[in-house]
Amino acid sequence: MAVLLQISEPGQSPEPHQRKRAVGIDLGTTNSLVATVRSGSAAILNDEQGRALLPSALHYDRHGLSCVGYEALGHDLSDPLNTLTSVKRFMGRGLADVALFGEQLPYEFVEQPAGGMPKFATAAGAISPVQASAELLASLERRAELALGGDLDGAVITVPAYFDDAQRQATKDAAMLAGLKVLRLLNEPTAAAIAYGLDAGGEGTIAVYDLGGGTFDISILRLTRGVFEVLASGGDSALGGDDFDRAIADWLRAELAIDADMAPAQQRQLLAAAKRAKQQLSEVEQTELVVGEQSLTLDRGQLAELLDPLIAKTLRACRRSLADAGVKLDEVDNVVLVGGSTRALRVREKVADYFGREPLCHLDPDQVVALGAAIQAEVLIGNKSGDDLLLLDVIPLSLGIETMGGLVEKIIHRNTTIPVAKAQEFTTFKDGQTALAVHVVQGERELVSDCRSLARFELRGIPPMTAGSAKIRVTYQVDADGLLSVAAREMTSGVEARIEVKPSYGLEESEVTRMLQESFSHARDDMAARALAEQQVEADRIIEDIRAAIAADGEQLLDRVELDCLNKSLDELQALRDSSQEHRALARKIESVAKGSEAFAARRMDAAVKKALAGQSLDQLEGEL
């Protein structure tokens, strides 16, 4: 039907929809976003109300997930225990780590056996951080599919550069659960650097200062002829704008003499007041905080006093990363600010002070990461020739194994460019020994107990030999996403030792399977939404095609009545496309418009043929006949 109207010139592609659908997703602690590249430039995909951000919040009731995003935030005060926010801080973490956050957590947890990830106790049952993150991803995926009119072919998901293996793995598990093909886990600062003008083909050293809600990252990058090399990255995976809010809230609580052992709802109220004050003080000199009946004034000087110790912590991390990168302060050509918390005026002042130059911040700090991820997704999916952009990332934390006495032997040092593979040889210390236990940890400290436990492996099936004669080669490989895999082989016999991986905070395979099954219950809604999206894209296409045809030769080929009739049916289709939630109704209307335009299409075809013939001489025609 519509195809009749597409009279294309030879050699031109009649099908503009060959492009693959790829998106960049910023799965943030406080807010999440999805972006894609459209007509050559990256753009955020808004929700139906035109909002760019999806607050990383979920609300559960006894039927399950009730809502996400802004709607879920609406339950924050009334139903705090069932409203999950800042879920990202729990990804790949054990309950012991969570306790180290040093704060009263407004959630209740379900203790997991064998040190697994803690689950939130909600009205819908125990919900893991991975499940909750998967729901956020699924929501963004639906948004993107509606906007792009079909299934996604792949996504780049961003993570803090400082995320360790368990946190990255948890993020990837969440994407798998949401049914997304992950093209790459991309470090947030790297994404931001990409978003900031690679177009100029510029060269130089860039420091990316990324202060989000729950994490701080500093990355030092060098750009040389289209290759983006991360020289060093560091930071703090448990420091962010939320801590600013908490510092203010603590001050507020002390000033107002509120009992430290308060109800979760009141705690939220304090935090909300603190956050508002923080935001306002970037605009005005002083502000009023109101909590219940009481109120208090906070000015910029006092705010600086509360925030400076936290900001100083970030600047110490900057100094370390510069040293790791072998870059001096005055060799930094540009400083890029990322993350909503860099909106705080005090942060900008201190960063400008430290680096001795005004930081770049003309892109929305909330959006810049998603935009960069979208650009990288476009390259990775193959829509764009990737010859001009390559990212070389580093591993943020050293990988090591436990040795005698609870000490760590480092196998791969932090800031080593990935992918990387390192092999290590072990031997047996008892006659006839057939198994060997390996404990892999991540971190910079010398004691195992100060590092993060990643996994325990047991190498089994070693052929019995005298002590010290077996040679077991263990290879640790970290891929471009920063994820670890391990292989082992006994060298003298060639036996591949069997490895049992017990992820310390990961998900068991059975758990993933169960969660996948649960996600199918949402599948029906998804299918209807997808069908509607497809019809909407079809409607857009036919409207655009016919309008273009009318503009080209509507005057010559149609009389007044025909033209009015066609325009009217197009207006009706447009109205239905914008309002209808019913994909079948929309499909029917599309078909009737297509039918109504057939006569016009036929006349255009005739005219086109005539025109083509008119240009040729009679001789040529006779020769061809």
Partner 1 sequence: MPLSQDYFALFGLPVDFSVPRQALDASYRELQQRHHPDRAAAGSDSEVRLAVQQAAAINQAYATLKSPLLRAHYLLELAGVDANQESHITRDGMFLMEQIELRERMEEIADHPQPFDELEALRSAAEVKFVECEERFVVDYANGDHQRAVDAVAKLQFFSKLLDQLDELEQDLEEL
Write out the catalytic residue numbers: 26, 88, 188, 210
Residue 480 Cβ, how far from partner 1 at the closest point, in Å? 5
In the bound state with partner 1, the residue whose beta carbon lies nearer, of 147 and 183, is: 183
Q: Are 26 and 185 in contact (CB under 8 A)?
A: no
SS3 50: coil
Q: What does residue 607 show for φ and ψ, rounded to 5 degrees?
A: -60, -40
In the bound state with partner 1, the residue whose beta carbon lies nearer, of 80 and 400, is: 400
State both tokens at 480. Answer: 């471009």
Residue 586 Cβ, how far from partner 1 at the closest point, in Å? 32
Q: Are 207 and 218 in contact (CB under 8 A)?
A: yes
State both tokens at 434. Answer: 């057939």
Residue 89 Cβ, how far from partner 1 at the closest point, in Å? 24
Residue 380 Cβ, how far from partner 1 at the closest point, in Å? 4
Provide the binding-site residues for partner 1, judged by CB under 8 A. Answer: 20, 153-154, 183-184, 224-227, 316, 319-320, 323, 379-382, 386-387, 390-392, 416-421, 477, 479-480
Q: How big is the chain by its Cα radius of gyration, in Å?
A: 29
In the bound state with partner 1, the residue whose beta carbon lies nearer, of 44 and 379, is: 379
Residue 91 Cβ, how far from partner 1 at the closest point, in Å? 23
Q: Are 87 and 118 in contact (CB under 8 A)?
A: no
* CB burial string 307-322: b at 16+ within 10 A, e below: beebbeebbebbeebb
Residue 25 Cβ, how far from partner 1 at the closest point, in Å? 15
Query: 290 Cβ partners below 8 Å, 6+ apart?
Result: 273
Beta strands in 322-447 (DSSP E): 334-338, 390-392, 399-403, 407-412, 420-426, 436-442
Task: Write out the DSSP string of 235-296.
Answer: EETT-SHHHHHHHHHHHHHHHHT--SS--HHHHHHHHHHHHHHHHHTTTSSEEEEEETTEEE
**How far is the C-alpha of 195 from the C-alpha of 378, rounded, in Å?**
13
In the bound state with partner 1, the residue whose beta carbon lies nearer, of 179 and 419, is: 419
Residue 171 Cβ, how far from partner 1 at the closest point, in Å? 17
Helix (H) or strand (E) holding 320: helix 300-325
- Report CA dihedral (239, 358, 189, 40) to the nearest 10 degrees: 140
Closest to 512 (Cα-Cα) out of 48, 139, 176: 176
Residue 394 Cβ, how far from partner 1 at the closest point, in Å? 10
Residue 382 Cβ, how far from partner 1 at the closest point, in Å? 5
Residue 84 Cβ, how far from partner 1 at the closest point, in Å? 31
SS3 328: coil
Residue 374 Cβ, how far from partner 1 at the closest point, in Å? 14
| DSSP tag of 107 | S
Q: Are 298 and 287 in contact (CB under 8 A)?
A: yes
- Write down the residue that tokens 């800031």 correspond to: 415
**How far is the C-alpha of 324 from the C-alpha of 414, rounded, in Å?**
9
**How far is the C-alpha of 350 from the C-alpha of 366, rounded, in Å?**
20
- Write down the residue that tokens 């194994």 correspond to: 401
Query: 403 Cβ partners below 8 Å, 6+ apart?
Result: 409
Task: Write out the DSSP string of 429-490.
Answer: SSTT---EEEEEEESS-SBGGGSEEEEEEEEE-PPP-STTT--EEEEEEE-TTS-EEEEEEE
In the bound state with partner 1, the residue whose beta carbon lies nearer, of 7 and 486, is: 486
In the bound state with partner 1, the residue whose beta carbon lies nearer, of 62 and 316, is: 316
SS3 155: strand
In the bound state with partner 1, the residue whose beta carbon lies nearer, of 479 and 591, is: 479
Count other C-beta atoms under 10 Å from residue 346's C-beta.
20
Amino acid, single-letter form, for residue 258: I
In the bound state with partner 1, the residue whose beta carbon lies nearer, of 129 and 396, is: 396
In the bound state with partner 1, the residue whose beta carbon lies nearer, of 51 and 319, is: 319
In the bound state with partner 1, the residue whose beta carbon lies nearer, of 379 and 438, is: 379
Closest to 208 (Cα-Cα) out of 184, 191, 183, 227: 191
**How far is the C-alpha of 429 from the C-alpha of 432, rounded, in Å?**
9
In the bound state with partner 1, the residue whose beta carbon lies nearer, of 382 and 463, is: 382
